[in-house]
Amino acid sequence: MPIGQRVVTRYIKHPPPASGYLADGDPLDSGSAHIVHSNLSHLSERNIRLVAHALGPGEVDWQGAWSGVIDETQIVGVVDVYSLIPWYRDRTAKAFGPLALSMARVQTAPAGLVPRKVRVVVQGTKSTQSGTTLYVYAALTATCDTPIRSLRYATATASKAAGGSDTLCVFDLLLTPELVRPTQEWPCREASSGLGATATITPAWVWVGWRSTTTAAPSGDPDTIESISVFEVWE
């Protein structure tokens, strides 16, 4: 059970505070208590954050993807698919976040609480150039650095091969992190308050990258990336 039990899968509005609905000395009936517990569980599931919505670059310039990159090296024959692209923005990637992760799922092996899943939806167009493929990658990283150098909490990939005509593709990638540990402290309150002024949290960045085996016009017919949507999901 990732969240608390619900009476019904919806929020049930209750009388506002100070309405005289629950005066001192009145019994707190279990039905009301059930509704309040259910509402809290429902919000814990449904208060999902929208991380980012952005535009893509349009045409994917894959032939020039590694050109001019100074702090990363292309390794031929590499088996880690997330090292196939340099994650050089905005040519082959976009980065979003950080998102302070909220633990909202239960995992059993190993046991513990794990963060909400993050959904990445990428709209692109696969061109007609024969024998080519458009690949899309997503990674949830522990630092703002690229997925090549950063710890990855979760990854996902999708692809589309050339068909008979330009094909609108909506790639749906789900980032499913496993157990994570807090890595940073952020200020959360002015230090003069006399209360805890920092909170220990687990920030994560979302990287979205792409690779295409098409070649440039006019001899080739490049694929395109048109939009990117990133948001948390409820289970």
Partner 1 sequence: MPTPVTQAPSAFSLDAVRTGEPVSVGTVARLAEEVAFLNGHNLVKAGEADAPLRQTGAGRVSLTGLAYTLRVPYTRSSGARVIRIAVEIHESSEILDSQAITVTLPTGATWLDAGGLDGTATFFNPPVGRTTPMEIVGFANVSGVTASMTQEIEVATTPTSKGAGVRRVTLHECPLSSLAVSSSEPGWDAAATRSGRPVIDGGSASPRGMQRLFYLLDQARSAWRQHWCLSGVESANASTSNTQTPHWHRQSATEGEIDWLLNAPVNDPNWYLQVRDLYAGTASAWKLRVRYRTSSAVDCELKLYHQGGSLSANSFSGVGTEGSTAVTLTATSGAWAWTTAVSVSLPRDGTNGLVRLRLTAKGPGSGELLSIACVDLREDEA
Enumerate residues 144-203 that contact partner 1 by CB under 8 A.
144-146, 148-149, 158, 160, 166, 168-172, 182, 186-190, 193, 195-196, 198-202
Taking the least distance from each CB to partner 1, the nearer of 98 and 177 is 98
Q: Which of 82, 86, 153, 214 binds partner 1 (CB under 8 A)?
A: 86
- Residue 23 touches partner 1, criterion: CB under 8 A: yes
Single out the residue of 1, 76, 109, 111 in contact with partner 1 (rule: CB under 8 A).
1
Please state, in angstroms and rounded to a whole number, the distance separating the CA atoms of residues 105 and 82. Answer: 26
Which of 129, 155, 212, 224: binder of partner 1 (CB under 8 A)?
224
30 torsion bin: left (phi>0), alpha (psi -120 to 50), beta (else): alpha
Shortest distance, position 17 Cβ to partner 1, whole Å: 4
Q: Which of 62, 65, 82, 119 binds partner 1 (CB under 8 A)?
A: 119
For the segment 45-74, give every residue that binds partner 1 (CB under 8 A): 45-59, 68-72
63 or 123, CB closer to partner 1?
A: 123
Closest CA to 206 of 126, 133, 148, 147: 147
| Residue selected from 78, 81, 113, 179 as contacting partner 1 according to rule CB under 8 A | 113
Give the residue, chosen from 65, 84, 95, 175, that forms a contact with partner 1 under the rule CB under 8 A.
Answer: 95
- The answer to whether 60 touches 210, Cβ cutoff 8 Å, is yes
What CA–CA distance (Å, rounded) separates 211 from 91? Answer: 10
- Residue 36 within binding range of partner 1, rule CB under 8 A: yes
Calculated CA dihedral for residues 70, 76, 79, 83, nearest 10 degrees: 20
DSSP 40: H
**How near is the Cβ of 79 to partner 1 at its closest, in Å?**
20
Q: Which residues make Cβ contacts (< 8 Å) with residue 1, sequence separation at least 6? A: 106
Structure-block tokens of residue 210: 């792409």
CA distance 35 to 15: 12
How many Cβ atoms are within 10 Å of 129's Cβ, its own excluded?
18
* CB closer to partner 1, 130 vs 198: 198
Contact between 103 and partner 1 (CB under 8 A)?
A: yes
By the rule CB under 8 A, 215 interacts with partner 1: no
Place of tokens 């080519």: 132
Q: Which of 65, 82, 84, 97 binds partner 1 (CB under 8 A)?
A: 97
Residue 129 binds partner 1 (CB under 8 A): no
- Burial of residue 224 (CB within 10 Å: 0-12, 13-18, 19+) is buried
